[in-house]
A and B are shown apart, each in its own frame.
Chain A
Amino acid sequence: MSLKINSSVPTDSEDILGILNNSPDTLKRIYKVHFPMILQMVLNNNGNEEDAKDIYQESIIILYNKVKAGDFELTSKLKTYIYSVCRRIWLKKLNQRSKKDVELKEIHDYLPVENDLEMHEMRDLQFSKMEESMLMLGEPCRTIIQDFYMQNKSMQEICDKFGYTNPENAKTQKYKCLQRLKKLFFQL
């Protein structure tokens, strides 16, 4: 009798399927598997733990967006892709900090990922605009907008929560809030 040893390490294509299905387990596994590599890269290149965390999370977001957009072709390993993105971001940050060209001590091979980063930066710009607009919107507008558009709460619930006399009033208030948010967003 021979024991068949099943490899418990999933392949990259399984991971990609997991990403597409929004599997929390896949996210957790991918995150934990590749973090040490990035930590090592950052620590070896004048960074600290916090830097490693920030750029690593950014690279995971970029990976997810790319996979979900159907752009990710499995011509490279996930690992290589994550490393390439992280080193690119870190290089950029180092250059900003020191205002001169920096060279990294590479610990892995890498691909050109400039296009992906550009797309990501554009999206990020939009997010930061939204973030700022929401902050400037103030209360109670922010909560009303979040409750209605993001938490999908009904007008009746919002009416009760904020003590409006009837849902119609709440709706009018929500309308005013949304108009202000739009104005803020497009001004920025």
Chain B
Amino acid sequence: MNEPQLLDLIERYLGHELSGQEQIEFERMRKSDAVINNRIKEHQQFLKYMADWNERLEFENTLNAIHEEIDVDAVKEKLGLRQGRVVTLWRNHHSKISVAASVAIFAVMLTLFFTGYFNNQNQQSKYSALRRDLETVKRSQNALIRDITGKSARKKNLNPGDFGGTGFAINTNGDIITNFHVINGADSVYVQNSNGDSYKAVAVYTNADYDLAVLHITDTSFKRLSAVPYAFKKSKADLGEDVFTLGYPKDSVVIGKGYLSSFTGYDNDSLAYQVSIPVNPGNSGGPLLDSYGNVIGIIKGKQTQVDGAAFATKSSYLMKAIQEMPADSTGKKIVLNSKNSMSKLTRSQQIKKLQNYVFMVKVYN
């Protein structure tokens, strides 16, 4: 008997397909021959392996078919597990995402650092208007003034005001120009000259676009000034020109000297010059003059954290604003002085003259 025949026999035996006679013969053979007996067992085992495997495949197919019937999204919704793709992505990859984000941030910072972005940042720092908040500083200073100047000074400085700025006369009958931001929101405004005399004033014209305001002294004690010594420059000033300003960053007038450094102001503002000049809160509204004593602008602000970047509204806009003033606001049209009587004077002589025309503006609100 050859192998295929034996296998056939074994299979028929296991499948109970043998006839009665064959069955008896085969069982006798199985008992007498251990080899055949082992072959039967072995084959039986292998048939079981195959059957098990087949059963498993079928079972898995059944399970898959059942799984198809489940609406997984609906189940999630019911469980409150419905989550966006983003959430799933985050859950599965958050460590990777975090690392990627850190790398990205680091790369950005590095790039910014090497391209000098952080340096630029400083140059683009904030603009600050130079109105002085008097509330904090003045108490101690007032005490000093009282000691030095006695009773009369005390009377004049009863209330130091809430904010302070500078203004200067544009004609002889008490019209004073200053910055709009100095008097913005004011209940009452007083101007004080270099001698310490205070006069009540009212704002007769404001122009927020140019940041300008015209005050008129209403106080009866005010005596007309003598002729204004400075002229207003219509044309553009020159870069690098020596300039100076007078102002009240403190209670007495302070001179600042510098030069015109740019034709544009903060953030390329074409209304203003950039001036390299030391100015402080309280300088706002002060005149900016060239070396001949022509007014070329009005100090209005500076850039914080940057040295030598103050800004002054150009005199041409100042004149334009004054021309735009309605005639009835002061009774008659303001005529600006066009004759400069200081051009031959030395700086200190100029300043001596100018002091009488530059006022401290005190604002109460």
Contacts and interface: CB of A to CB of B under 8 A. Distances in A.
Given A48-B88, A131-B53, A172-B4, A57 B79 contact: no
B67 A57 contact: yes
B53 A149 contact: no
A32 B66 CA distance: 8
Contact of A126 (B52, B66, B69): B52
Interface in A12-67: 24, 27-28, 31-32, 35-36, 39-40, 43-44, 46, 48-49, 53, 57, 60-61, 64
Chain B contact residues: over half helix, strand or loop, or mixed?
helix
Given A31-B67, A48-B92, A130 B60 contact: no
B75 A35 contact: yes
B69 A36 contact: no
Interface stretch (B42-50, B111-119, B314-322): B42-50
Given A39-B75, A175-B7, A150 B52 contact: no
Chain A contact residues: over half helix, strand or loop, or mixed?
helix
A79 interface: no
A151 B291 CA distance: 113
Interface in B8-35: 8
A27 B59 CA distance: 10
Size category of the A interface is: 35 or more
A176 to B, nearest CB: 8
Contacts of B51: 149-150
A145 B11 CA distance: 13
Contacts of B332: none
A162 B49 CA distance: 25
Contacts of B60: 57, 61
A61 B55 CA distance: 11
Given A31-B63, A127-B53, A46 B76 contact: no
B267 interface: no
Contacts of A145: 50
B91 interface: yes
B290 to A, nearest CB: 75
A83 B72 CA distance: 18
Contacts of B62: 24, 27
B96 interface: no
Interface of A: 24, 27-28, 31-32, 35-36, 39-40, 43-44, 46, 48-49, 53, 57, 60-61, 64, 123, 126-127, 130-131, 134, 145-146, 149-150, 171-172, 175, 178, 182, 185
Interface of B: 3-4, 7-8, 46-47, 49-54, 56, 59-60, 62-64, 66-67, 69-70, 72, 75-76, 78-79, 81, 88, 91-92
